[in-house]
Amino acid sequence: MLLDVQDLHVDFRTRDGVVNAVNGAGFSVDEGETLAVLGESGSGKSVTAQAVMGILDTPPGRITHGRVLFRGRDLLTLGREERRRIRGERMAMIFQDALSSLNPVLSVGYQLGEMFRVHRDASRKEAKARAVELMDRVRIPAARERVNDYPHQFSGGMRQRIMIAMALALEPELVIADEPTTALDVTVQAQVMDLLAELQREYRMGLILITHDLGVVADVADKIAVMYAGRIVEHAPVHDVYKRPAHPYTKGLLESIPRLDHKGGELLAIKGLPPNLLHIPAGCPFHPRCPQVREVCRHDPRPPLYEVGEGRSSACHFWKETIGE
């Protein structure tokens, strides 16, 4: 197993109290595999990613419990220096907003080349050549002519390609992409996602793709982890989830994918809002919104992650009903 996250808990100390942003999240990614992490805004996806990468803002954030096993070693027990080295060389992150992740006063060629100068002892000339190569790789037209351009001189889609190039420069084993296309136009989104999926296969890297767009997931992911109120409520191979979701929340998400074939069809969004993380409801955190809620769902203990099939789990007491068995 490339990455195995177990029972991860992350708190934020705020003026209003302790926010339980991540409450026992667990998931795994194998070599060459793509895991999609889904969930509404505020469900703890980014915080989980930051905790795994070791870039959580501490304070106010704090990992209070859990293990992040990277090839069997718990990253949470490593010293800063070792952690930084792994983060630089073997794991990489792609953020939503390239403009705030790239340095505005350095050319993209310089920033790409820096990866090779710092980590591979490349000369300036070599580094520049590698930068052009990478820009070609992510299909930036006229890479050689554009290598000295600055981030703001590129379109949003091209900048996101540069971010992907930066992440892949050192051929990491694991890449976490946090809503990498959310800020882009819809047509450009698909192109950037296709590129990312193609490079993932080519490099055989493990990819965690955080998204709230279930539409793209079926095409690119092997597995899905659905997050709700800081927990994984369903973890399963992608095709199982689409055919027969085992959690009412997943079912709701699937029903809210806009169907292009249903002309004028209403979006069946899940009613209500995710819980306030300062006051997560007793019992199943989803119960106030669940169309299948029963009395037992309103009371502690929280539903555990039930094993519901081969490599599949669901945190619903009534998963059998949900899955239709």
279, 64 Cβ separation under 8 angstroms:
no
The C-alpha angle 54, 171, 89, rounded to 5 degrees, equals: 35
* Distance, CA of 233 to CA of 249 (rounded, Å): 8
CA dihedral for 80, 128, 171, 177, sign (positive or negative): positive
By CB under 6 A, is residue 250 in contact with ligand ADP? no
Interface region with Mg ion, contact rule CB under 5 A, candidates 38-46, 230-238, 295-303, 310-318? 38-46
By CB under 6 A, is residue 58 in contact with ligand ADP? no
Interface region with ligand ADP, contact rule CB under 6 A, candidates 40-48, 70-78, 185-193, 316-324? 40-48
99, 182 Cβ separation under 8 angstroms:
no
Interface region with ligand ADP, contact rule CB under 6 A, candidates 12-20, 120-128, 139-147, 246-254? 12-20
Which residues have a Cβ under 8 Å from the Cβ of 281 and sit 6 or more positions away?
275, 287, 288, 298
226 vs 297 by CB, closer to ligand ADP: 226
By CB under 5 A, is residue 211 in contact with Mg ion? no
Task: Scan residues 275-304 and list those touching ligand ADP (CB under 6 A).
Answer: 277
Among the listed residues 17, 60, 258, 304, the single contact to ligand ADP using CB under 6 A = 60
By CB under 6 A, is residue 39 in contact with ligand ADP? yes
By CB under 6 A, is residue 97 in contact with ligand ADP? no
Alpha-carbon 41 to chain mean position: 12
- Minimum Å distance from CB 227 to ligand ADP? 7
* Distance, CA of 126 to CA of 114 (rounded, Å): 11
By CB under 5 A, is residue 46 in contact with Mg ion? yes
Interface region with ligand ADP, contact rule CB under 6 A, candidates 35-43, 100-108, 133-141, 231-239? 35-43
| DSSP string for 126-183 | HHHHHHHHHHHHTT-TTHHHHTT--GGGS-HHHHHHHHHHHHHTT--SEEEEESTTTT
By CB under 6 A, is residue 19 in contact with ligand ADP? yes
10 vs 220 by CB, closer to ligand ADP: 10
* Distance, CA of 96 to CA of 78 (rounded, Å): 28
* Distance, CA of 79 to CA of 5 (rounded, Å): 18
43 vs 200 by CB, closer to ligand ADP: 43
- Minimum Å distance from CB 41 to ligand ADP? 4
Among the listed residues 16, 41, 104, 295, the single contact to ligand ADP using CB under 6 A = 41
* Distance, CA of 88 to CA of 295 (rounded, Å): 49
For 229-255, give one letter per residue: b (16+ CB within 10 A) or e. Answer: bbbbbbbbebebbbebbbbbbbbbbee
- Minimum Å distance from CB 44 to ligand ADP? 4
Q: Which does 156 bind (CB under 5 to 8 A by kind): ligand ADP, Mg ion, none?
A: none
By the criterion CB under 6 A, which residues form the site for ligand ADP? 12, 14, 19, 21, 39, 41-47, 57, 60, 277
By the criterion CB under 5 A, which residues form the site for Mg ion? 45-46
